[in-house]
Chain A
Amino acid sequence: MTAENPRILLVEDEELNRTLVKAVLARAENTAVRTAEVLDAASIAVAREQLSTEDVDLVLLDMNLPDGNGLTLASELAAGEATGGRPRPMVVAVTASVLPQDRAAALKAGCDGFLDKPYAAADLIAIVTANLSRRAT
C-alpha cells in the first residue's frame, strides 16, 4: 500500500451505487481498504477534473456514463494522460455491461480489472484490495 489511506476515485452516475460501494468498502477487513478515501464523480468530465488535481490510487469505473463510455477515460489513463503528470492509477471497470465484447473492450482499454454488476460485497472488496496492493508494490 502506498499510503496509510489510499485514495479511490469512484466514477459512477447512480447515487445508490455510490452509497453501496462506500458502505461495502467501509466494512472491509483490510485496514487500507477500510480507511481509503473515496472521491466520487458522476460523469467522465468530473472524473477528469479530479484526476488532474488529486492523487488517486485506484479508479472504479462504470462504463455507461451520462457523457459517454467510461472506457474512454481508461484509454486516456493507459496512455499516461489525464493525470497531470502524476502516476497512473489502477483502473477497475465495474459495470452492468457484461457481454464478452464488453469485457474485451475493457481489457483493450487498459483496465486492470473487471467486476460485473451485480456483485457480491466480498468480490468488490477482493478486487479493490488486490488492485491497491498491486499498486503498492
Chain B
Amino acid sequence: MTRHWSPLVLLAAEFTFAVLFLRALLGYLRRRDPLQRDVTLVFTPCTLLVTVDLARHLSGGPLPTWVGAVTLTVLLTQPYLTVRLAGRLRAVPRWLDRLVLIALVVLAVPLIFAPRPLSAGVLLTLVLTFLGCELVAAALLFGKARTRRGANRARLMIAAGATMAFGAMIALIDVGTLAHAGAGFAPANPVLALISGFGYLVAFVPPRQLRRIFSASAAQSVTERLLRAPADSPEQVWQIYAEIMRVQTGADAVAVLMPRTDGLLAPAGYAGPPIPTPDELGFADLTALIRAGQPARLREGDSSLVAHYGDNLGDDFVTVLSMPVPPDAEGAVLLFNRHRGLFTDDDLRLLAALGGQAGILAERQAVAAAHRKIARELSVSVEALTRASQAKSSFLANMSHELRTPLNAIIGFSDLMRMEEPDGDRRRVPADWVEHIHSSGRHLLGLINDILDLAKVEAGRLDLRPAPLRVDTAVSELLTGLSPLLNTKRLTITMELAEATALADRVRFRQIVENLLSNAIKFTPEGGAITVSVSASDDDVRVTVADTGVGIAAADQQRIFEEFQQVGDPDQQHAGTGLGLALAKRLVEAHDGEITLVSAPGRGSAFTVRLPASPVLTFEEGPDAGIRVLLIEDDPQSAELLSTQLVGAGYHVDVAGTGEAGLVAADARPPAAIVLDVALPGIDGFEVIRRLKADPRLADIPVFFVTIIDERQAGLALGANDYFVKPVDQAALLGALARTIAARPVPRVLVVDHDDEIRRVIEEGLRAGGADVVACADGQAGLLLSREGHFDLIVCDMRSPEVDGFSMLAAIEKDPATRHTPVLGLTTADAAERRPGDAAPLVATAMAGGVVATAMAGGAGWETLAPLLGGSETAAKDKKENP
C-alpha cells in the first residue's frame, strides 16, 4: 500500500523544496539581501536533488553515474551552508565553521573518486559525518531560537527541526543505497523529505496566512504587555515599549524615537546595554533607513545615529521601523543587533505600527492613572482638611467649655457677694469666696495664655529668641520656685543636673519644664518622688522629668500630647487645662527639639525633652571697649588669616564657624560689622544675611561678604554693604570696613536713675550694645543734660526722688530741643514695691513725639532697649527735616 502514496508524498516534498528555492531566490533578486542569498543557497542542494529525481522520472531510466556523484557532492555542502546561514544570525566560532567545511571536503573526495558501488565503510563514514554536520547546524539554529520569543522562536525551532529531518533523510537514502534498497527504508524517505520541506517552508517562507498568524500573535503579545505594564507617566510608556520590543524581537537593543516639537526625532525610550546618552539629541530624517526596511550596518546609517549609539553598538545592524503615532505623528523604532535577524520586515513593521497605537493607549492610561493619583491625593487632602476642620470645631467647643468652668465660679461667687447685705460701702463676704474667685481667675488666665501660645505655635508666629541657655541653672531656678508646691504634697525631689548649654528661648524653656514639672506634681501621689535630670552630648541637651505617679498606658501615650486630653482612670482625673503637654510638645518642636515619654501604668512616667545644644562660640576675652567685628567663616585657615588682619587693624574679632552660630553670636552681642562667608556648613551666608536683615535688631549691622563664590549681585541684592571675592585685597576690605563703621551713628543715650545698681546695669547693657551712654542719678541734672546732649534716647526712672518721671516727661515734651527724643520711663510693675537693686521686672514705656509704645523689659539691658533705639534714628531724621 505504501507504494501507492509514497511517490505522492515525495512529489509533494519535492514541490515544496522547489517553491522554497524559488521564493528565496526571488526574495534575494528583489532585495539583494545577503541573508536571502544564504537562504537560497541552503535550498539549492535540495532543489538539485529534486531536479535530478524529476529528470530520473521523466527519462524513465537510470541517470549517468556522474550525475549521482555530483548531486551527492552538492548535497554534502548543505550542512555547511546551513552553518553559514546560522553564522549570519548568531556568533559561530570560526573553528567550527572550518571544521565542518574540512570534514565535508574530506568526504567529498572519496565520494567522487571512490569506485562504485561504495564500500559499506565509506558510506557509513559519509552518513555519520553528514549527520554530524547537520546536527551542528541544527544545534546552532536551536541555540539561537532559545534566545528569541514567540513566533520568532517557533520558526527558528522549526528550521532546526527541518535541518535535522533533512539530514536524516539524506542519511536514510545513503543507508538505503548501502542496504540495496531495503524495503523498510523506502517509505520513510519521502515522509522525512516532506517534513523537512514543510519545516523549512514554515520557518523561512511561511504562507501569507501563517505569517499573519505569527504577526498577530506577536503583535498581540506586545500590545498586551504594553497595556498591562504599570506606567506612571506617559514618558515611561515608551521606555516600557522599548523593553517589551527587546524581549519580543530578541534584539540586543531597542530604541524608540519620538518627534519633538521641532520635528526632529529624539530618544524617548531605550532598552539594551548602557550607552552614554546625550540628553539633547535630535535625529535627522531617517526616512531612507525606514524605507530600506531591512537591517543596515549602523555605520552606514545616519551619522547622528552613530554619534548617539555608535560607541557601544559600533558594528551592529540597525533596523529602523516607522512607528505611526496617532493622530498624525511619526516616530521610529530602532532595533540593534549584533547579528542579522532572520525575520525582519513584515511582522516587525506591524509591531512598530501597533506599538504606536498601543503606546498612545498606554499613554492615555498613564494620564488616567496620573489623574486617579491626583484624585486620590485630593481626596486625602480633603479628608485631612475635614479632619482638621472637625478638630478645630471640637477644639473651640472644648475651649468654650474649659473657659466657662472657671468663669462659673468667678461669676457665681461674685454674684453671691452681691447678694450679701451691705454694711455701709462694704459687704461682709466669706474669705473663701474671694479665694475661689481669685484662683478661678488665675486658672482662667492660665487657660487663655496657653490657648494663645498654642495658637501662635500653630500659626508659626511664635517669636522664639533662641540663645545659649544654661539649662541646669534654669532648671534649678524653676525647682526653687516650685518648692512650696512640692512640700505640700511631701514629694521627694532628686536633681541630677550636669552642666549643659542649649540653644533655647529662656521664657519658653521655663514654660516647657514648668509644664512637665507641674504635670509630674499633679499626677504623683503624696509622698512620691520626682527626679529631674539634665544631660548633654555634643549635639543636644536632654532634660528628663520622671515621677512615681500613676503612669500612662502605651495606647494613651500619643493622645496625652493632644489638646484637652487627660487619660487614665476617669475617677482620678485631675483638674488642669489639658493644654500643658500639648503646648510643651509644640514649644519643644518649635526649638527643633523632641519630647518623648517612657511610661507604664503604675510605674510612673518619664518625659524627656531634647533640645539642640548651643554651638560653641569663641568670644575673644577682654574689655568690651573697642569695635567688635563678627567673622562667620568655617575654614579655619581663612578664619585665622582674616582674623589676624582685622585684629591688626584694631578690631575685636569674634569667630563663628557656622551660620547658625554666627546668628546666635550676633544676637548675643551685636557687632559693629559682620564679615561673612557664603559657603558654610548648615545655612549658607545668603541665608544668614537674609535672617540678619529680617531681624530689626540686627538689620542695621553692616555685612561684608568675603568668599570664593562670585555672586556679587546676589550678595548686594540681599543687603550686603560690599562683596569681596577671595583672595581679598586686605587694604580694600579694611578700608570698606573702616568707612562703613565710621559712618554708622553711635546712638547717644541718657540714663537718669537714682538707684545706683539699676543705673549701672542699664549703662553696661547699653554700652555693650555699642551706645554712647551718659548717666546721672539726679533728675534735675538729667533735665539739663537732656537739653544739651542731643540724645537719641532718654531712659528715666519714673519715681526719681527729686523730679518724678512725669514732670520730667512734661518738661522734655515742652522743650523743642528734646520734643522728638524717645523717652523710656522705667517703673516696676507694682511701683510701691520697688526696692533698691531690684532691676526686674521693669515696665518700660517709650514715648516719642506723642507716640507711645509699651514694652516689657525683663531686665534693662541692650536686648530690650535696642528695638526702641531703632525708632530713635527715624526720630532723629525727623528732627533734622522738620526743625
Chain A: residues with CB nearer than 8 A to chain B? 13-14, 16-17, 19-20, 23-24, 27, 43, 45, 64-68, 96-99, 116-122, 124
Inter-chain contacts of A98 with B (CB < 8 A): 400, 404
Q: Which residue of A lies closest to B419 (CB)?
A: A27
Q: How far is the CB of B685 from chain A (nearest CB, A)?
A: 54
- Bound complex: CA A67 to CA B408 (Å): 22
Residues of A with C-beta under 8 A to B433: 23
Known: A96-B401, A121-B415. A67 touches B407 (CB 8 A): no
Given A99-B397, A119-B412, 7 further pairs, Cβ under 8 A: A23-B413, A24-B412, A24-B415, A43-B571, A65-B570, A118-B412, A124-B412
**Does B391 lie at the interface of the complex (its beta carbon under 8 Å from any beta carbon of A)?**
no
Q: Which of A20, A65, A67, A117 contacts B404 (CB 8 A)?
A: A117
B410 proximal to A (CB < 8 A): yes
Q: Which of chain A's residues has its CB closest to B569's CB?
A: A66
Q: Which residues of B contact A118 (CB under 8 A)?
A: 404, 407-412
Partner of B416, one of A17, A20, A117: A20
Known: A96-B401, A98-B400. A16 touches B571 (CB 8 A): no
Query: Which residues of B sit under 8 angstroms from A19, Cβ to Cβ?
Result: 432, 436
The reply to whether B416 and A119 form a contact with Cβ atoms under 8 Å apart is no
CB-CB nearest in chain A for B436: A16
**Which residues of chain B come closer than 8 Å to A16, judged between CB atoms?**
409, 436, 440
Binding site for A on B (CB under 8 A): 397, 400-402, 404-405, 407-413, 415-416, 419, 432-433, 436, 440, 570-573, 575
The 8 closest A-B pairs by CB, nearest first: A96-B404, A66-B570, A118-B408, A121-B415, A117-B408, A118-B411, A20-B412, A118-B407
State whether A96 and B570 are in contact (beta carbons under 8 Å apart), knowing that A19-B436, A20-B409, A119-B412 are contacts in the complex.
no
**B549: min CB distance to chain A, Å:** 17
Shortest CB-to-CB span from A136 to chain B, Å, is: 25
Q: List the A residue with the shortest CB-CB distance to B432.
A: A19
Indicate which residue in B401, B419, B432, B436 contacts A121 across the interface (CB closer than 8 Å).
B419
> For residue B409, which residues in chain A have a CB less than 8 angstroms away from its CB?
14, 16-17, 20, 118
In the complex, which residues of chain B have a beta carbon less than 8 angstroms from the beta carbon of A66? 570-573
- Chain B residues, CB < 8 A from A64: 401
Chain B residue contacts of A17, Cβ below 8 A? 405, 408-409, 412
The listed residue (A43, A45, A68, A119) touching B408 by CB distance below 8 A is A119
Tell whether A27 pairs with B416 under 8 Å between CB atoms, given A64-B401, A96-B400.
yes
A121 touching B416 by the CB < 8 A rule?
yes
CB distance from B577 to the nearest CB of A (A): 14
Question: Are A24 and B408 touching (Cβ within 8 A)?
Answer: no
* Contact in complex: A96, B416 (CB < 8 Å): no
CB of A14 within 8 A of CB of B412, answer: no
What is the predominant secondary structure among interface residues of chain B facing chain A?
Answer: helix
Closest residue of chain B to A125 (Cβ to Cβ) is B419
Q: Which residues of A contact B436 (CB under 8 A)?
A: 16, 19-20
Tell me which residues across on chain B come within 8 A of A24, comparing CB atoms.
Answer: 412, 415-416
The docked-state distance in angstroms from the alpha carbon of A118 to that of B419 is 17
Q: Which residues of B contact A67 (CB under 8 A)?
A: 570-571
Alpha-carbon gap, A96 to B401, bound state (A): 5
When distances are taken between beta carbons in the complex, the residues of chain A under 8 Å from B416 are 20, 23-24, 27, 121
* B413: A residues at CB distance < 8 A: 20, 23
Chain A residues with Cβ under 8 A from B415's Cβ? 24, 120-122
Q: Which residue of A lies closest to B409 (CB)?
A: A16
Quote the shortest CB–CB distance from B576 to chain A (angstroms).
Answer: 12
**Most A CB within 10 A of own CB, among B401, B410, B413, B572:** B401
Contact B404 A120 (CB under 8 A): no
Q: List 11 A-B contacts (CB under 8 A).
A: A14-B409, A14-B575, A17-B412, A20-B413, A64-B401, A65-B570, A67-B571, A68-B570, A120-B411, A120-B415, A124-B412
Give bound CA distance, A80 to B476, whole Å.
59
Residue of B nearest to A94 (CB): B408
Interfacial chain A residues near B397, Cβ < 8 Å: 97, 99
Determine the residue in chain A with the shortest Cβ distance to B402: A96
B73 to chain A, nearest CB (A): 106
Instruction: Give the CA-CA distance A16 to B407 in the complex, in Å.
Output: 11
> B571–A117 contact, CB under 8 A?
no
Shortest distance between the CB of B400 and any CB in chain A (Å):
7
The minimal Cβ–Cβ distance linking A12 to chain B, given in whole angstroms, is 10
Is the pair B571, A20 in contact by a Cβ cutoff of 8 Å? no
| Complex Cα spacing A13 to B575, Å | 10
B440 partner residues in chain A, CB cutoff 8 A: 16
Q: In the complex the two chains form, is B570's CB within 8 Å of A20's CB?
A: no
From A65, A97, A121, B412 is in contact (CB under 8 Å) with: A121
Bound: A120/B412 CA distance, A:
6
Name the CB-closest residue of A to B420.
A27
Question: How far apart sit A11 and B157, CA to CA, in the bound complex (Å)?
Answer: 92
B407 to chain A: which residues have CB within 8 Å? 117-118
Report the minimum CB–CB distance from A60 to chain B (whole Å).
Answer: 13
Which residue of chain A has the shortest Cβ distance to B413 in the bound complex? A20
A127 to B436, CA, bound (A): 24
- CB B556 to nearest CB in A, in angstroms, measures 15
Determine how close the nearest CB of chain A comes to the CB of B392; give it in whole angstroms.
14
List the A side residues contacting B401 at CB < 8 Å.
Answer: 64, 96-97
**Complex contacts, A65 vs chain B, CB 8 Å:** 570
Task: For the complex, give the distance between the alpha carbons of A97 and B402 in Å.
Answer: 9
Look across to chain B and name the residue whose beta carbon is closest to the beta carbon of A124: B412
Q: How far is the CA of A67 from the CA of B570 in the complex (A)?
A: 5
* Alpha-carbon distance between A20 and B437 when the two chains are bound, in angstroms: 11
Residue of A nearest to B415 (CB): A121
Chain A residues, CB < 8 A from B575 = 14
Report the separation of the CA atoms of residues A17 and B405 in the bound assembly, to the nearest whole angstrom. Answer: 9
Task: Report yes or no: A96 in contact with B405, Cβ–Cβ below 8 A.
Answer: yes
With a cutoff of 8 Å between Cβ atoms, the chain B residues found around residue A99 in the complex are 397, 400
Which residue of chain A is the closest to B411 with respect to CB atoms?
A118
CB-nearest residue of chain B to A121 = B415
Output the nearest chain A residue to B574 by Cβ-Cβ distance. Answer: A66
Would you give the shortest CB distance from B541 to chain A, in whole angstroms?
38
Within the complex, the shortest CB–CB distance from B830 to chain A, in Å, comes to 28
Nearest CB of chain B from residue A126's CB, rounded to whole Å: 13
CB nearest to B396 among chain A residues: A99
Contact B405 A14 (CB under 8 A): yes
User: In the complex the two chains form, what is the Cα distance from A99 to B401 in whole Å?
Assistant: 9
| B405 pairs with A117, CB closer than 8 A | yes
Per the bound structure, the CA–CA distance linking A17 and B573 in Å amounts to: 16
Report the separation of the CA atoms of residues A34 and B239 in the bound assembly, to the nearest whole angstrom. Answer: 89
Chain A residues contacting B410 (CB-CB under 8 Å) are 118
Please measure, in the bound complex, the distance between the C-alpha atom of A124 and the C-alpha atom of B419, giving whole angstroms: 14
Task: Provide the residues of chain B in CB contact with A119, threshold 8 Å.
Answer: 408, 411-412
Known: A20-B413, A66-B570. A96 touches B408 (CB 8 A): yes
CA distance A67 to B397 in the complex (A): 19
Of chain B, the residue at the smallest CB distance from A123 is B415
Most chain B CB within 10 A, of A45, A64, A96, A99, is at: A96
Bound together, the chains give a CA A23 to CA B419 distance in angstroms of: 11
How many angstroms between the C-alpha atoms of A16 and B409 in the bound complex?
A: 7
**For residue A66, which residue of chain B has the nearest CB?**
B570
Give CA–CA (A20, B409) in the complex, Å.
7
Give B99 Cβ to nearest chain A Cβ, in Å.
Answer: 96
| B419 neighbours in A (Cβ, 8 Å) | 27, 121
Q: Which residues of A contact B404 (CB under 8 A)?
A: 96, 98, 116-118
In the assembly, what is the distance between CA of A13 and CA of B408, in Å?
14
Smallest distance from the beta carbon of B404 to chain A beta carbons, Å? Answer: 4
- A20 proximity list for chain B (CB < 8 A): 408-409, 412-413, 416, 436
A65-B412 Cα distance, complex, nearest whole Å = 20
User: What is the CA–CA distance of A67 and B571 in the complex, to the nearest angstrom?
Assistant: 7
Contacts of B571 in A (CB 8 A): 43, 45, 66-67
